[in-house]
Amino acid sequence: MIKWLLIALVAGVALLLWRIAAHAKSNLPRVGDPAPGFNLPDQNSKPRANDEFRGKWLVLYFYPRDDTPGCSEQAARFRDAMREIEALGAAVCGVSVDSSSSHAAFARKYDLPFALLADRDGVVAARYGSLLDLGIVKFARRNTFLVDPHGRVEKVYLGVNPSRNTREVTEDLKKLAA
């Protein structure tokens, strides 16, 4: 009897995870699509909108939580590459469901020179197919989008590796911005 309950529980969890993954992929913007709009507060509570970045490349990266090992590594790598990224005509914005005050502490701790956007309700992450909503808790999935100067999605990086993402984006920017 316990064996069958365990099998049913595992099957139920697998079905739930499959539905979550399928829903996220249905919202995922494709290359060539207009980038979904956003208007979110940054770490200084300043509203930031996608229109602000028209005319330049935008690296929009979604990450699960401030000040966790993978998220800290990814942010620090973008920080360290900012001169090169800016020289290629691009800006960087990180997005998670954390608050502006959490973002402010994270930005101060790691000396981050780019905007961290507070998507508290996960609406923008959902528009980008990057929200993991488990009902009682939400996280942004670790995905990155390269948006061209006209506001179109040029490249999509799913389930990125924090140690490689910055290098991949920078290499692609070099090719695309040339």
Strand blocks (E) in the chain: 39-41, 47-49, 57-62, 90-96, 115-118, 131-133, 138-140, 144-147, 153-157
For the chain, the straight-line distance linking the first and the last C-alpha, in angstroms and rounded, comes to 64
Q: How far is CA 113 from the centre of its chain?
A: 17
93 is catalytic: no
Catalytic option among 35, 40, 71, 93: 71
CA proximity to 81, closest of 155, 160, 174:
174
Cβ–Cβ < 8 Å for 106, 116: yes
CA torsion 71-27-99-46 (nearest 10°) is 110
Question: Looking at the annotation, which residues are catalytic?
Answer: 71
